Structure 1
Amino acid sequence: MEKTILEMKNISIEFPGVKALNNVNFTTETGTIHALIGANGAGKSTLMKVLAGAYNHYTGEIFIDGKKASIKSPKDAQNYGIQIVYQEVDTALIPYLTVGENIMLNEMVNGMGTKQIVKWNEIHEKATEILASMHVHVPSKKLVSELTLAEKQMVLIARSISQQCKFLILDEPTAPLSMSETKELFRIVRDLKAKNVAVIFISHRLPELFEICDDITVMRNGEFVVKEKIAETTQNNIIEAMLGKKLEEQFPKYNVKIGDSVLTVKGLSDKEKIKDFSMYVKEGEIVGLAGLVGAGKTEICKALFGASPITAGEIYLKNNQLNLKSPYDAVRAGIALVPEERRKEGVLVFESVTTNLTAPSLKKFTKYLSFLDFNSEKNAAKDMINQLGIKTPTTETKVQNLSGGNQQKVAIGKWLLTDADVYIFDEPTKGVDVGAKKDIFELIAELAKRGKAIIYATCELSEIMGITDRVYVIYDGQVAKELETSKTNEEELLFYSTGGR
């Protein structure tokens, strides 16, 4: 099978105050699965956005089979057979259209016939066929707004493979997927490789990359570091290349005296997922909510934050019963949530870092009939940026221009200024590199030392084992088992996560 070779040479690009790429070289060919990895802010997503035509103000050259390719728009990239599936699925899908319409969007825009008439049956038949080939059981006529995060990811991948593509870029594709869905994705990726498609796989999950990929390219600080054959390197070598130093212990060692109960939940239920959920968290305690994707962890977190209605149950904060009708009520009571979908729910992407960090605690920075004290607000933002190590050119940089890990630090930092009693973290390390993960773990440990009650929800069982004191394993919206972390292991957590009794 004849290979098509893609080369990116001396690619550089700047944004206001940031040189995101500096003379980067990247080479791959069809019929291979190529990992692209680096710490948050390394420039890997930016490089792929250049290839996909999202940015046109770069310098350098792109060649396909030795011929110079002019890629200045997404349409140009698609004409060369280049498709991309972005990490933030909600920004790439149209929620009020159906699954089929989203999958076949490009064909619909270009017209299904010579008279530009949309043949609806044909749209849904083709979409159903693509979904069936992926073993994804989502009705073509279902609205995208009704889908889970994992289902939305699959719709985006289905849209990409509906096009005749030679190079498919997947940016953190497994982040919202369960183990079974990840296996299905890997099957699809291997099928594409067998059909002579190049798949460029951006991920922070090294075990996955070593399972699925042939080659790996490492970037650091906007520059190319090394390209290796997966079979000829190790995970530790790749991490050290990413960070530019030896890997330290990820999980902080800390001793905290566990205090009195802060949050108590009794018999919580909602209209859909949560069923008779009970838990408690004490001062200085980190309590895990472990479970697979779709188990109900996110729904529990949102219910505890007043972001979704509950039909039964009671929530107590320091023995005072709460009546949480909205997130406003939760914030006033002393509860903070760092949500899973940070760009959609955790940050204001078009606002500055300062605005994001101070938004929940503006009362601290108002005086004289509610006039905002801009100097004290800016100083507080600067202190938080330094404390969390947020990499940003200025305090006024828009959050959309930060890397994923730095956006996550902003999403966490805004709650630190409020000095809440309960901190709820929902998949806080999703799409975050090993260096930023370590920073987040240390931050959570520091909150525990200050006597805060912490709920840590994740499907990453190694994180549950590394950071928590106790854990509630969630299965189908219920507590399958409560365990003391020091007396369990990942195998037992997985057993209960998959419905074991």
Structure 2
Amino acid sequence: MGAGRTELMECLLGLQEYSGDVKIAGHKVPAKMDTSERIKLGICLVPEDRKKNGIFPISSVSNNMTISSLWRRLKHRFSIDEKAEAEAVTSAIGDLSIKVSSPDIEIRALSGGNQQKVVIGRTLLTSPKVLLLDEPTRGIDIGAKGDVFNMMVTLSEQGIGVLFSTSDLKEIMAVSDRILVMSGGKLTANILRSEATESALVSASAQGL
């Protein structure tokens, strides 16, 4: 808490002002570019607080999943290609093993783990180049955690950059290729997983406190 991880991810998505440069695929992202344009550019975020910032509780699973990518399914700029939308939702539900009786039910009827998968599915429908996951396994069961980790590995193998934050050392050591440690809003370590030890990570996280 207070390390600055969430603030960093919000800066990358354009939700907060920042100084410095952000580049994606070698190209600089204009500092004044808004969030919707950054999403189209390939940056997407799964927020830490799913209930507060991740879902529209009284909307359907389908609407929650497609809200960030409607621009991909617009016909003549004014109407939505409903067939393409339904196909995209059905495919995402299958790919992410989301347990839901119908994509038309309200998302609040789902378990926490399945709600999280819907939020992740929303980001994937935007075809991201960089996927930001802020504490993606918080508040979900063991089975759902395994599904999320498997998804992260699969996406990285497909060439998508996956940046996730967690305070769980076991998760870090199990999934990461490279580990960045923050403390007090500053980067205090940049370590390959093969060279990382729990003691070094704990020490870096305590710097400046």
Q: Which has the higher helix share?
A: 2
Q: Structure 1: how far apart are the matches of 2:8 and 2:104?
A: 34
| Greater shift in the superposed pair: 423-432 or 318-327 | 318-327
Structure 1 runs (4+) deviating above 6 angstroms are none
Match of 1:316 in 2: 23
Q: Report the 3-state secondary structure (helix = DSSP H, G, I; strand = E; otherwise coil) of the residue aligned with 1:295.
A: coil
CA contact (8 A) 1:305 1:324 kept: no
Match of 2:154 in 1: 446
Aligned-residue CA RMSD (Å): 1.5
Letter in 1 for 2:96: L
Letter in 2 for 1:428: P
Q: Which has the higher strand share?
A: 1
Q: Structure 2: how far apart are the matches of 1:455 and 1:323?
A: 20
Match of 2:116 in 1: 408
2:59 paired with 1:351: yes
Shift of 1:334: 0.9
CA contact (8 A) 2:183 2:208 kept: no
Match of 1:465 in 2: 173
Shift of 1:482: 1.0
- What is the CA deviation profile of residues 305-361 of structure 1, one whole-angstrom value per residue up to 9, with x for unaligned ones? 101111x21111122111244321320221010110111112222211111111111
CA contact (8 A) 1:324 1:330 kept: no
Match of 1:437 in 2: 145
Shift of 1:373: 2.0
Shift of 1:499: 1.6
Letter in 1 for 2:92: M
Shift of 1:432: 1.0
Counterpart pick for 1:497 among 186, 205, 208: 205
Q: Which structure 2 residue ranges, 5 or more long, are not aligned? A: none
CA contact (8 A) 2:61 2:105 kept: yes
- What is the CA deviation profile of residues 370-427 of structure 1, one whole-angstrom value per residue up to 9, with x for unaligned ones? 2112222122111111111111121101111111111100110011111111011100
Q: Which structure 1 residue ranges, 5 or more long, are not aligned? A: 1-292
Letter in 1 for 2:131: Y
- What is the CA deviation profile of residues 124-176 of structure 1, one whole-angstrom value per residue up to 9, with x for unaligned ones? xxxxxxxxxxxxxxxxxxxxxxxxxxxxxxxxxxxxxxxxxxxxxxxxxxxxx
Identity across matched positions, percent:
36
Counterpart pick for 2:2 among 271, 280, 294: 294
**Higher normalized contact order (CA 8 Å, seq sep 6+, divided by chain length):** 2
| Structure 2 CA distance for partners of 1:307 and 1:500, relative to 1, 3 Å | closer
Q: Report the 3-state secondary structure (helix = DSSP H, G, I; strand = E; otherwise coil) of the residue aligned with 1:321.
A: strand
2:181 paired with 1:476: no
Match of 2:103 in 1: 395
Letter in 1 for 2:26: N
Letter in 2 for 1:401: A
Task: For 1:26-425, list aligned pairs within 5 A.
Answer: 293-310=1-18, 312-325=19-32, 326-425=34-133
Shift of 1:364: 2.7
Q: Report the 3-state secondary structure (helix = DSSP H, G, I; strand = E; otherwise coil) of the residue aligned with 1:456.
A: strand
